[in-house]
Amino acid sequence: MKTYRTDEIKNIALMGSSRSGKTTLIEAMLYESGLIKRRGSIDEQNTSSDYFPVEKDYGYSVFTSVFGIEWNNKKLNVIDCPGADDFIGGVVTALNVTDTAILLINGQYGVEVGTQNHFRYTEKLRKPTIFLINQLDNEKCDYDQVLEQLRESYGSNVVPIQYPLETGPNFNSLIDVLLMKKYSWGPDGGTPTIEEIPADQLPKAQEMNKTLIEAAAENDEDLMDQYFDKGVLTEDEMREGIRRGLVERGIFPVFCVCAQKDMGVRRLMEFLTNVVPFVAEMPDVITTDGKEVEHDPKGPLSLYFFKTSVEPHIGEVSFFKVMSGTVHEGDELTNSRNASKERMAQLYVVNGSERTKVDYLEAGDIGATVKLKGVQLGDTLNNKNCDYKFDFIKYPSPRYSRAIKAVNEGDTEKMMESLYRMEEEDPTWQITQSVELGQIIVQGQGEFHLRTLKWRLENNDKIEVEFLVPRIPYRETITKMAKATYRHKKQSGGAGQFGEVSLIVEPYTGDDKIPELYKIDGQEIKITVRGVEEVNLDWGGKLVIVNSIVGGAIDTRFIPAIQKGIMERMVRGPLTGSYARDVRVIVYDGKMHAVDSNEVSFMLAGRNAFSEAFKASAPKILEPIYNVEVFVPADYMGDVMGDLQGRRGVIMGLSSEKGYEKIQARIPLKELSSYSTALSSLTGGRASFIMKLDKYELLPTDIQDKLIAEFESKQSKE
C-alpha cells in the first residue's frame, strides 16, 4: 500500500446496533477495493473484521477493527465498532480518533437503542454523521418508515440522498437524488448499471433533489446567494455544501445499501472519498495544557496511542494516530507520561488481522507498530522538539460488577496479571482489589462484557475462574449520643497492661461548635477542648476526635494511640464490619498506671470504648443509592417501571428524548446487581441505562437486622 498525504486521508467510524450488518459491509468494501478476493461471512467465521477466537465463538464483534481502504486515490481509515451496548468503549475510542461517523441502520428494525446511544456520542463530540440504511432486501424493511423514524428522532437535518424503488426480496435498484441517476444491480451486486431516472419517478426525485440543494445551500452564504440567483447548484457546489453541512452537523445524509449482496457499496465509497471531510478540514485537537494542534505533516511529530491488542503469533500490537508531523520507521520518540524512550522499529497500515509495512505515515493517518517497551493506552509519543500530551477520550462509568476468584487459588497472581492486561486493552473494564469488601471486583458495561472477560481468561490464559455477586459497600453511622468507659487490664507476670478511656460519641453533621456540657444518662460531663483532629475519610464522610482530657488523667503521649484504636473501629464498623462515617468522638476522661500503661493498652481501651458507645448510639447502616436513567421504547415503559419499583426504586421523572422514553429513578445498589441482564430480557435488548452514585441513605430496618444477624453469626463461627 502506498503512503497517503494528509489531504488524501479520511477517518471514519462505522457504528450501528448489533445485527445492523457492519461486518458484512466491511467485507463488501474490502472486496470492492481489491484488498480481498472473496467476501467472508459471519456464519463461515472467515470475515476480516471478527477474527479473534472469542468473536468467532460468540458471532459478535467484541473489539474495534481498523481498516485502511484505498478508493479513488484516497485512503479511508475505517474503524469497525462493536454493536452491542456492552462494548460501547470501542465506539467512544473510534469516534475520538476519527472525523466522520457512519451510523448503520438495520432496515427491518429502524432506529434502535444502539442507534440512539451512538448518535448521542456523535452529538457530544460534534462529529459529522451519515445514516446508512442496510438490509433493504429484508421482507420486513420499510424504507419510508425508517426515514420517518430518523426525522422524528433527529429533525429536519436528516436529508435522504438515495431512496429504493422497492424494498424486500426484490430490492435491486435505487434513485440517487444527488447525481439524479438510477442505480441497478444484478443478483451478484458489485458494479451497478447507471441509467436515467424513469419518468414515473422523476417528480419525486426532483422534489427530493430540491430539498437536498436547499439543505446544502443553507450551510454556506455564497452557495445560498447562488441558489437564490440561479435556482440551482452544480453537482460540485452541492458536494461542497454537503461537506460543510457535515462539518457543522447541519445535515445528516441518508444512504441506502444492501451489504450482503454488495449493492450500493461502491456508490457509498464514492461519496466518502468525494464529499466526506478530510482530516485537515476538521477542528484542531486540544492538548492537556490547552494547545491547539493542527494536523500538519510538517509540524512537530506527535503520536497518540488509542488501542492495544494481543494477537496470536505477534504479541502486543499498538495502534496510533499521527496527530502532527510525519513518523518514519526507526524514529526515536519520547513518552510524555514518563519520559521513557521508544523506537518505532516497524510501521504498519492495518486491515483487520492483516498488516502491511510502510516507511512513513503523515499527520492524520492511522497506523500500528509492535514491540514497544512501555507504551500504554492513551500515551503520547513525541520527537525531541515537541511536548504535546493528549487525553481526550472519556469512557463511560461501569454498570455491572462481579467479584472474581480463581478456582485454583494458586492461579490468583496469574489471573491478576491477565486482568490488568485486559484492562489496558479495554478501559471500560475496571479491576479493583477491594480491601473493604475483601474481594477482587471486575466492573464493566454489562453481563456480556464481563462474560467475554471470563471467556478470555479460561480459553486464552487457561485460568478457570468463577464470578460471585459482589458484597455491597455499606456504611455505618450513629443517630444519637452515647458514652462508654472501657478499662483494659492485663497482668501476666512482669510488666502488665493498663489503660482506661471514657468517651462520648455523637453524629457529626458538619457543625463545628462543640457543646461545653453534655448530659447523658443523668450525668453531666463538662468539656474543655484541648485539641481537635478532623479526618476526611477515604470512603466519604468524616471522623472528628476531640481531646478533652484535663488534669493529666491520660498522658498526652497516649492520645494518638486512642485515636488509632478508634480509627480501627471506623475501618471495620461494629455492626457489620463496614466502614463507619460521620461520627464525632469526645475523649473526656480515663486512667493510667505509672508502670503498666503503654500505647497498646490505650489503643485497645479506645477501640473497645468506641465500639461500646457506637452500639449504644442507635447505630444505622447506610446503603449506596444510585441515580439511574433508563432509555426505553414507549411500548416497554410499563414493564420497565414496574421492574424498577420492584427493586425499591423511586421514579423521579419521565421524559421523551429523540424517539425514546427516559425514566429517571433512584435505586439502591443492592437491587442493581443484575439489572443490565434483566433490562435486556424485559425489552429484547432494546433499552439501555446509565447509573451514577448519588449518596448514602438509611437501610430499611428489616434488611439492617438481617445483615447484623448474618455478620454476628459469621463472627461467632470465626
Binning pLDDT at 50, 70 and 90, where does residue 101 land? very high
> Which residue, of 581, 602, 618, is where some domain finishes?
618
The CATH number of whichever domain residue 179 belongs to comes to: 3.40.50.300
Least confident of 23-37, 255-269, 677-691: 677-691
The CATH number of whichever domain residue 459 belongs to comes to: 3.30.70.870
Determine the Cα–Cα distance for residues 241 and 674; give it in Å rounded to an integer. Answer: 48
> Are 431 and 464 members of one domain?
yes
> Per residue in 475-513, pLDDT tens?
999 999 999 999 999 877 667 899 999 999 999 988 778
> Are 603 and 490 members of one domain?
yes
> Are 233 and 104 members of one domain?
yes
The CATH number of whichever domain residue 498 belongs to comes to: 3.30.230.10
Least confident of 140-149, 159-168, 229-238, 431-440: 229-238
Is residue 391 in some structural domain? Answer: no
**Buried-exposed string 442-479: b where 16+ CB fall within 10 A, e elsewhere:** bbbbbbbbbbbbbebbeeebebebebeebbbbbbbbbe
Q: For the packed helices 143-154 and 113-125, what is the interaxial angle rounded to 10 degrees? A: 40
> Are 83 and 15 members of one domain?
yes
> Are 176 and 61 members of one domain?
yes
The CATH number of whichever domain residue 663 belongs to comes to: 3.30.70.240
Is residue 707 in some structural domain? Answer: no
In this prediction, residue 664 carries a pLDDT of 97
Mean pLDDT of 346-375: 93
Asked if pLDDT for residue 592 goes beyond 90, the answer is yes
Q: How many domains does the chain have?
A: 5
> Per residue in 199-225, pLDDT tens?
999 999 999 999 999 998 887 788 887
Is residue 395 in some structural domain? Answer: no
Q: Which residue did the predictor score with more confidence, 248 or 227?
A: 248
> Are 219 and 189 members of one domain?
yes
> Per residue in 277-332, pLDDT tens?
999 888 899 999 999 999 999 999 999 999 998 776 677 899 999 999 999 999 99
> Are 444 and 566 members of one domain?
no
> Are 429 and 552 members of one domain?
no
> Are 508 and 537 members of one domain?
yes
In this prediction, residue 231 carries a pLDDT of 75
In this prediction, residue 128 carries a pLDDT of 96
Is residue 83 in some structural domain? Answer: yes
> Which residue, of 226, 254, 281, is where some domain finishes?
281
Instruction: Write phi, then psi, for 624 (nearest 5 degrees).
Output: -75, 130
> Are 81 and 95 members of one domain?
yes
Mean pLDDT of 652-674: 90
Q: Which residue did the predictor score with more confidence, 334 or 575?
A: 334
Is residue 713 in some structural domain? Answer: no
> Are 426 and 559 members of one domain?
no
In this prediction, residue 678 carries a pLDDT of 93
> Are 58 and 136 members of one domain?
yes
Mean pLDDT of 131-140: 96
Determine the Cα–Cα distance for residues 310 and 316; give it in Å rounded to an integer. Answer: 4
Mean pLDDT of 375-404: 94
> Which residue, of 350, 382, 414, is where some domain finishes?
382
Is residue 378 in some structural domain? Answer: yes
Asked if pLDDT for residue 659 goes beyond 70, the answer is no
Cell of 214: 436547499
Is residue 390 in some structural domain? Answer: no
Is residue 567 in some structural domain? Answer: yes
Asked if pLDDT for residue 55 goes beyond 80, the answer is no
* Percent of all residues in the chain with a pLDDT value above 90, rounded to a whole number: 75
Domain interval for residue 109: 6-281
Residues 2 and 264 sit within 8 Å (Cβ to Cβ): no
